[in-house]
A and B are shown apart, each in its own frame.
Chain A
Amino acid sequence: MLEAREVTKSFRSGNGTVTAVNGVTMTIADGEFVAIVGRSGSGKTTLMNLLGALERPTNGIIIADGQDITQLSPRELVHYRGRKIGFVFQSYNLVPNLTSTENVMLPMEFIGVGKSERRTRARQLLEQVELTGVKQQRKPGRMSGGEQQRVAIARALANKPSIILADEPAGNLDSQTSSTIIDLLRGLSHSEGTTVIVVTHDATIADQADRMLQLEDGRLLPATQAAGEDVR
């Protein structure tokens, strides 16, 4: 279970302080597929970074599987990100001079998985996202956006994380590919019991989620209000 209690994140700006996330409290159950929606600048990505321990909140606590991640040491944060979180980014963010297989093997190397085991699992994951044959040996520069995002999803799954955080995973994709990627994430959520949190401003994607959370000016709107609004 992932829980945020009164989480606030403020940044220093030229003219003062900007509060990107303001007193967010929420609970997400294991295996739930949640969409966080909101306009640009509403604090979606900042909230995602807080949940993924890429940033520390200014106030509040975040509890993942019973552990307050805001109190973790830098070394423990590396461990948390490596084992419990899988990130999927809008721009895929694959390492350009590594092949698909090598990109997927990367997170496993960081937690000490043996080379042959890494390679076997990477191939299995790539097959799971329907990338087979020579595509497994291609570098990102020679792949389409949809293929790169599949590699990114396979990489996010590499260490069997309990939470996948996807920031605009279909933002750069056409509608058909976008639908395939979301189906893939939802399928993982239901079949593997993985918690999937998708940040999006696409209502079509949000509609496919088990639950939708809406952010406005860093605040989480009540569920009833969120369900009735156009998230775009």
Chain B
Amino acid sequence: MTTSLENLETRQIDRTKPLLEVDRLVMHYKIKAGEVSAIEDVSFTVHQGEAVGLVGESGCGKTSVALSLLRLLPSNAEYVSGEIRFNGEDLLYLSPDEMRQHRWKDIAMVFQGAMNSWNPVYRVGDQIRETLDTHYRGAMSYDQQREHMERLFSSVGLTPEMLDRYPHEFSGGMRQRAVIAMALACSPELIIADEPTTALDVIVQDQILKELKRIQAELGMSIIYISHDIAVIAEVTDSLGVMYAGKLVEYGPTSTIFARPRHPYAYLLLRSTPSITGPRRELAPLEGEPPNLLSPPTGCRFHPRCPFATDKCVTDEPPLEEIGDGHRVACWHHEQVPELEEALHR
């Protein structure tokens, strides 16, 4: 696929500089039955140009984290404590108007199933133009907008003529590409991609992930990928966070986590993912169900399903500790996991 990115602004990036810092974020949903502790003490940092992945089962809070970053949570959500700093500015203290300025211009989002959010009665190009109008009011002439959109489209592997088409003339994959073009429209520094390829076929999924990875590298953007499928984001992320029941249980460089998962949950998650390469391994199913977050388990939230749980896990909550080289784990037994792993194999 021929693409031209040279005209889109390429940012000078400093890979050691943090772009987004999530610091001890706690967020609850208030419902009639009580408070759901959806995000509990989650901290991670996204550096400039970095791709971070968040994985976990349904209801583990990964989507809530994404929505928190954009402050798009439903009205019954309540930020209890913590900070979300974007370029040093705490997003939680911004007024709704100031937040709106950041959204899309600095932080854009590609939702799960966003490809179905196109308005069917407008041309795709006109819908992107609307975004440009909102954020660059008067700064771009009609022709400049057109030129910019054509560049965006070619950067995601679509032809410029497709700007004049209606959404129903696009296939699912093309619509999702157009969504990505829309997300890129204001050259954001950060893109949050929540299950960006979940509804797509494998081949299209592969193409889109590769496209995103290339664009991210070329434009110097940061991306947060969110998925329930650890295999999908293995190839596209630099760092990986594993979430369980509202908590970040393991965080570190993707390659480290894949090679040496130290949280039993991350370990089991990896072991339960079928693969087509390598010898056909025995798969270890993750037994049990995720807990009800209205009354989360005491101590380590994973202890009811953990094969290694001890009494300590039931009473004391393990902190997220650094165990070397940016690898952080919240488990009392992380040192023993390799041994226990062997025991499981036998």
Q: Do A and B come from one complex?
A: no
